[in-house]
Every structure is written in structure tokens, then in C-alpha cells.
Structure 1
Amino acid sequence: MIRKLLLVALAAVVTTLIAVGLAPAVKADIVAEPVVYTINEQPFEGYFAINEGFGDSQPVVLLVHDWDGLGDYEKRRAQMLAEQGYATFAVDLYGQGVRPTNADESRAQSGMLYADRDTLRSRLMAGLAQAQAQPSIDGSRVVAIGYCFGGAAVLEMARAGMDVDGFVSFHGSFDTPEGQDYSQTSGRILVLHGSDDGAAPMADVAQLASELDAAEVDFDMEIYGGVDHAFTVWSDADRYDAMADRRSWRALITFLDETLS
């Protein structure tokens, strides 16, 4: 009897996790593999995940990594999105084999792209083209999402007027370089952010909202009270916030459903 009750309780937990998107829904047809491509003769290694059970012409998510480069975290998020029926291409902005191992290396790699926006944009454009070249997808239905540095990168895509349906920033940064604005942005924007984010404080969030309003961009923001930077990164025990992670994931799935349907 005790064993039966435990099994029932476990089934209830799994059902709840599936409902909020933090556990696999249907995994039988997931195909995930590295994708090597070149930009100006330099090799880059992205990662593509798709649930073949959803058939052809699937909408696409372009996923941009944090400042650590494309790693296991982004690959798992790509698989989670594929489980929901969103074919996902995790782009590589640093280059094949360039994977920082400490904060100094991460700062150096991301800093080079922050300082060279033309290169950042060209690598994002190449990643988008590679995503749209994957099999069994509908390249006309795309949303770009990013974490931390990747959140800043997708806003760079928005300011560049890249032709995608939406942009989602998870605990990103919001500085707009001199000479840039959101006047060319055509897709929707969703910002998911913690109110206690020291890397991008609420004053920066308010400034971003003002810029988006001025450009008449369709946008939404969800602010999680008392939540720090990198709140979705489960390997960061000091900053990870399970509740904010679940809420932001649900917000993402709702955004994708509304934007790519």
C-alpha cells in the first residue's frame, strides 16, 4: 500500500513538472546534434534540437548562449523547447572550441563582441541563417531568445531590425550603444528580469521601457521581486531561483504560442 501511494505521488510530481515545462513531455522523437558552420572561413559549432514527432514546418527558436559560450545548459534548454514542438538552434557566437572556463575568459570573449557590434551582428545573422536552413522547419516563423549576454544579443538583433517575429531576454542587459535605437524593430519583445539584478538594475529596465515606448515597439516585461541575475541557471546555487525559473519558462512558452501560432 505504501509503495502504491509513493508511485501515485511520484506520478503527480512528474505531471506537475510537465505542465510547467521543466520536465520532458514527449521525448521519443527528439533528435539533437551539433551543427558546424562557417563565418568568414572560421568554424562555429551550434546545436540543433527537434522533436520529429511534430512533423515538418515547425516554428523555430534561435537560442543565444550566455557569456560562458554554448554549453550543456543551452543544449538542455534547446531540448526542452523541442519537447514542446519548437525546433531550436543554439547559436555559437564565439567559434568552434572557444568555450571560456572562468569569468575572466568569459568577460574577454563577450567583451570583444560588445566592443565590435558589427561582428556581433554578422555572427547573429549567420546563426539565424543557419537556423533557417535546418530540416523540417518553417524559417518564416522565428523567435530569438537569450540568457544573460545572450539576452543583450537578442536586443541587438531587435535594434538591427532582423526579420524575426519576437525577441526574449532572460536576465539580460539593456545598454543601447550610441547611435542605436529600436526604430527598426518589427517583432515583439519580452523581458524576463529580476528586480535585484545587480548587472542590470531596475533603472536600466525603466530606461529600456522608455526607449521601446518611444519607438512604439510591442513589448511586455515580467519582473520577479527580490530575484538576482542568472536566476534560471540551475548550476548557480547562489543565484538560481526555482520559482522565477518556472514562471519565466511559462511566460516564454505562452509568448511562443502567441507569436508563432
Structure 2
Amino acid sequence: MKSLLAAALMVFTLAASALPTQESVVYTVNGETYEGAWYQVAPGRPTVLLAHDWDGLTDYEIQRALMLNKLGYNVFAVDLFGQGIRPEKVEDKRQHTGALYKDREKLRALMQGGLEQAIANGADPASVVVMGYCFGGAAVLEAARAGMPAQGFVTFHGGLQTPAGQDYSQVSAPLLIMHGTADTAITMADFADLASRLEKAGVAHEMITYGGAQHAFTVFGGGRYHKEADLKSWARFQQFLQAVTVL
């Protein structure tokens, strides 16, 4: 009886240790306070650094983080706006994203600060993939151009324009860019320009467009949600993760 009880307790302990842990993480970057979220499956697992879209770190990013947890990946959802700042009005979203588009050094510092906090939480610095949606996608490309050490960079319907004076000569890992062909916010001209720049810089990359998909095509419940493009892009993302990391 005692041996059976001990065995049952061991199974319960192992199962409990495999459950993801979720916690809000308050941290500072250059003296300003931010609040990200850490979703850990287990120590030592590869980590995805997730950059939010223009309404800040909300339920959408949390849902994606939990989806990644189910696949076996730890996730740190970075905060790019500041603790408690989750803009709801369009003008507020434009204000916060616009300020960072004008201050690229700050945007780089915020992405680097997010990476450093993820490592402080327990992320393995040798096994990190950086990904983002919409504005977060632009932040991912900014981090890539800055030479952030990572195993890969991934954007979903992200901003693709390259600021004047910047290039991709310092990129440390492959890029996966997934875009909606019907996106009028980020055009196919932007897409083609990025492809040319990456090719010129000799950066390993894959760029995919999905016919009929508009901007924000992955946002569940949104008016522009495109199920086929969402499922295909998520499947390709999983393949990319498997190729550049080891679970």
C-alpha cells in the first residue's frame, strides 16, 4: 500500500511540475517601469519573446502565449508602452506607437530590456526566438537590425518599412515574415522592398503572403480575421520553431 501511495504521489508531483506557471513581471528599462508576463512550461525550454500589437499587452497576446506553452515553449510577453498603459482609443494607440517609431533607440532598448528580463526569469539565452504582431512585428525587425542575439525572428502582419539610415547587416538569425496580400496598411511594395534588402544583406529569410488576408488577419474575433491564413501561418511558425530550437 505504501509503495502504491508513493508511486501515486510521484506521478502527481511530476504532473504538477509540468504545468505552466504564469506570472506578471514588473521590470524597468532606463528607469521607466514596464509590466510583462512570463509563461513557463519548464526551465531550460526554448523561449519565445513576444512583442504585442498597437493596443499593448492584452488578452490576445496572452492567448497566443498559452498556445505556445501547449507546444512546449516558454514565453515572455514584453511590454513596450509602460506599466498600466493599454490604449483603447485609436488616437491613443497612434500616439504610443508613433512615439516609438520616432525614437528607434528607445524601441531597441525596450526589446533588449525584454530579452534581458526573460533571461532573468530563466530563459536560456542560447534558445530564444523573437516574434510579434502588427506594431510588435516592426519592433521585432528593429531588434533584428540592432543585432539582438536570437535563433530567429518572426513577424505576423508586422510593419515592414526600414527607417532611413538602417540596414540588415547585423542580423544574427533567420527571418520568417508572414503577410496578408490584401493588407492596405502595410503594402506589397513594403513587402518587396524588405525582400530586396534582406537579399542584398545576405540574410536568411522566408517571406509568405496569404491571398485575401488583410491587416491583422490573425486576430481572433476581429473583423479582418482570416481563418485560413491564420492556421497556415501558425503552422509555418511551429515548423520554424522546430527548425531553430530543440525542445
For residues 179-224 of structure 1, the C-alpha deviation after alignment (integer angstroms, 9 at most, x for no partner) is: 1000111210000111000011111111100000000000001210
Question: How far, CA to CA, are the matches of 2:165 and 2:150 in structure 1?
Answer: 22
C-alpha contact 1:50 1:85 (8 A) present in aligned 2: no
Partner of 1:6: none
For these two proteins, the number of residue pairs brought into alignment is 231
Counterpart check, 1:166 vs 2:156:
no
Partner of 2:175: 189
Counterpart check, 1:210 vs 2:196:
yes
Q: Give the Å deviation of 1:70.
A: 0.5
Counterpart check, 1:241 vs 2:241:
no
Q: Give the Å deviation of 1:133.
A: 1.4
Q: Give the Å deviation of 1:129.
A: 0.4
Partner of 1:31: 21
**Structure 1 residue ranges, 4+ long, deviating more than 6 angstroms after superposition:** none
Q: Give the Å deviation of 1:29.
A: 0.6
How does 1:22-171 map onto structure 2 within 5 Å? 29-52=19-42, 56-135=43-122, 137-171=123-157
What is the percentage of aligned positions where both structures have the same residue? 51
Q: Give the Å deviation of 1:43.
A: 1.3
Q: Which amino acid aligns with 1:254?
A: Q
Secondary structure, counterpart of 1:232 in structure 2: coil
TM-score normalized by the length of structure 1: 0.86
Question: How far, CA to CA, are the matches of 2:32 and 2:190 in structure 1?
Answer: 35
Counterpart check, 1:251 vs 2:241:
no
C-alpha contact 1:67 1:150 (8 A) present in aligned 2: yes
Q: Give the Å deviation of 1:31.
A: 1.4
Structure 1 gap ranges (5+): 1-27
C-alpha contact 1:165 1:259 (8 A) present in aligned 2: yes
Question: How far, CA to CA, are the matches of 1:64 and 1:182 in structure 2?
Answer: 20
Structure 2 gap ranges (5+): 1-17
Q: Which amino acid aligns with 2:161?
A: D
Question: How far, CA to CA, are the matches of 2:206 and 2:232 in structure 1?
Answer: 14
Q: Give the Å deviation of 1:144.
A: 0.3
Alignment RMSD (CA, Å): 1.5
Question: How far, CA to CA, are the matches of 1:74 and 1:96 in structure 2?
Answer: 16
Question: How far, CA to CA, are the matches of 1:161 and 1:118 in structure 2?
Answer: 13
Q: Which amino acid aligns with 1:51?
A: V
Question: How far, CA to CA, are the matches of 1:186 and 1:41 in structure 2?
Answer: 28
Question: How far, CA to CA, are the matches of 1:178 and 1:222 in structure 2?
Answer: 25
Partner of 2:3: none
TM-score normalized by the length of structure 2: 0.91
Q: Which amino acid aligns with 2:245?
A: L
Question: How far, CA to CA, are the matches of 1:164 and 1:30 in structure 2?
Answer: 23
Q: Give the Å deviation of 1:40.
A: 2.3
